[in-house]
Structure formats: C-alpha cells, structure tokens
Amino acid sequence: MKHFSYIVVVFCCYHRQMREFPEKPPPGVSHVEIAESQSGQRIDNFLITRLKGVPKSHIYRVIRKGRVRVNKKRIRPEYKIKAGDCIRIPPVRHGEEPEQAQPGADTARQLNERILYEDDRLLILNKPSGMAVHGGSGLSFGVIEALRALRPNAPFLELAHRLDRDTSGCLIIAKKRSVLRTLHTLLREGEVAKHYLALVKGRWQGGQQKIDVSLQKNTLKSGERMVRVNEEGKRSISIFKPVKLYADTSLLEIKLMTGRTHQIRVHAQYIGHPVAGDSKYGDKVFNRTLKKLGLKRLFLHASRLDFKLPDDGSHIKITAPLDPDLDALVKQLAGQSRQD
C-alpha cells in the first residue's frame, strides 16, 4: 500500500510539472529573470542591449510576432520590465538582415549643439523636430540610438520620457539606472513641471483655462494611432495660458498635469484652437495659410522643465529656446498684427 501511495505521489508531481512546463524549450531559446537593478526599462531597449549586433528591425519583428514572451505572455515594445519578470528570448542570428544605418556626422553635431544641461546623472536635450526619440517602425535610429552611437563608451543612456516626433524641445536622458527610476517616479507623481509653447488657430479669449477631459487611444485600419476625447478613456489635464495674441492666431503656454499620448494636440482641437502645422488633428486650411508664411512643421515646443532630484535636493530648471524657424514665424505674425 505504501508502495502504491509513493507511485501516486510521483505521478502527481510529474503531472504537475508537465502542466507547468509542458515541454523543453526549443534549442537556442533562453529564459532570463529580471533583477531589481534591471527593472524600469523598456523590453525593446533591454533586448537591444542584450542582443548586440542583431539589427533593431529584427528585434522589433520578433517582439511583434510574439516570439519574445514575458511571463508567458505577448508584449509590446514599450512594455517596461519589472523585477521578477521571466523573459523568453528566441534564438536569433546576427546575419539575418544587413546592419541598419547609423547616424551621420551632421546628426551627431546637431545633437551635441542642442544639449542644454548635463551632469553625471542626466542630460537634457533640445530635441529637434522631425527626429523620433526612438528607432523602430521603419526608422533606422532615433535620438537615443544617435546618442549611444555618439558616446559608445557611455555605460548607460536611456530616455526618461518621450516627445512626439514632430515636437521639439526639452527631453531628459538618464545616465544611470537609479536616476532613471527616480525620474520615472517624479514624472508619475507629477513632480516634473513640463511647459510647452504652441501656436494655435484663432484669437484666444480670456485668460488661463483648464482643460480636463478623458482621452482614449484608437488604432485605425491603416495602423495609424489616433487619440479621441472619450469619457471611457484616461483622465487628462492641461492648463492653457495665453502668451501673445495675433490677428488670427495665438501663442499659448501649456502646462501638462498628465502625460497622455498627443494630449496637447487633442485638447487644443477639442477647444477649437488646433495647433498650427498639425497634420493629424489640425485644420487643413489654417495649416496651408501658415505654410505660405514658412511654417513647415508642427508648432509645438517643450519649452521648460522644472524639477528637484530627491537624492541631494538639486533643483533643475531648464528652458529650451524656440528653434529659429518658429521664432521667425512669431516675429512675422507680430509684425503683421502691428500693421493691422
């Protein structure tokens, strides 16, 4: 009887093991458990660092196809890994695709010239319009890849937050993982004051206005991501304040109280003052009028950052000047208003 009971116990243990681990992983597959020191970074950045020499486009492809799993589940490139996560990494060959283009000397020089602040913990860049913060989705490289190429010996460089591709201005890059976690906490708790400048359609009436409406992300059949005002979405708050009023346009300062995708652009559209040069949420006729005046991009600029680092209480307050093309347009509008 005891022998029979022993067989039953062994069978149950074997059955439970087979249920939890039904088969051995295919040859070449590896499983990595994330340590506390690795948490907080995006899965795509983690894989890019770990799979050195593998083209970034291939890394994004294996993520998209679900060959990379976190805790046995499919994930998106922007998923942020956490301590204790078990990551399944499939076998990849370094020669599956030709190496992607690297940022040229002009790009490197431009980024160097646009560094607004730097110490041993972080740097703040005046990101140029038209450059994505991150490569992928058909882009060979973005700001972070260009900075890593520019500084090959830097032990750690990672985005603390993001800006839309066509938005210029203040962008924080962490140089230590501990600082990255601190910045994420400050951003999440609203301890980083982020101010933007935007030129919008129409002459602003009244003073400061608080926009408090929920936003929801949608994806169209074409794969394009759009954001709409929807009460079922996430609460989103922006403070709009007039800076300069012109004949048919207004220069506004916007303070973000939350950080939703395309928040300023959708809020501006919602209140009837779409941002100039916005091809997705803007006014086509308005955009064509300003294009004749020389505007070739979205007029949205992350102009100021203000925050304190808790480790030593240092107060970092940075202002990014308007790019020359935006500054020239503002002066032109001011001149027209005086003539009128």
Q: Annotated active-site positions, please?
A: 164
CA–CA separation, 58 vs 63, rounded Å?
A: 9
Cβ-based neighbour number of residue 72 at 10 Å: 7
Question: How, if at all, do strands 225-229 and 249-256 pair?
Answer: unpaired
CA–CA separation, 173 vs 158, rounded Å?
A: 5
Buried b (16+ CB within 10 A) or exposed e, 155-168: eebbbbbbbbbbbb
Tokens standing for residue 296: 């070739």
Q: Judge contact between 274 and 256, C-beta under 8 A.
A: no
DSSP 140: S
Q: What is the separation, in whole angstroms, between the first and last Cα of the chain? A: 103
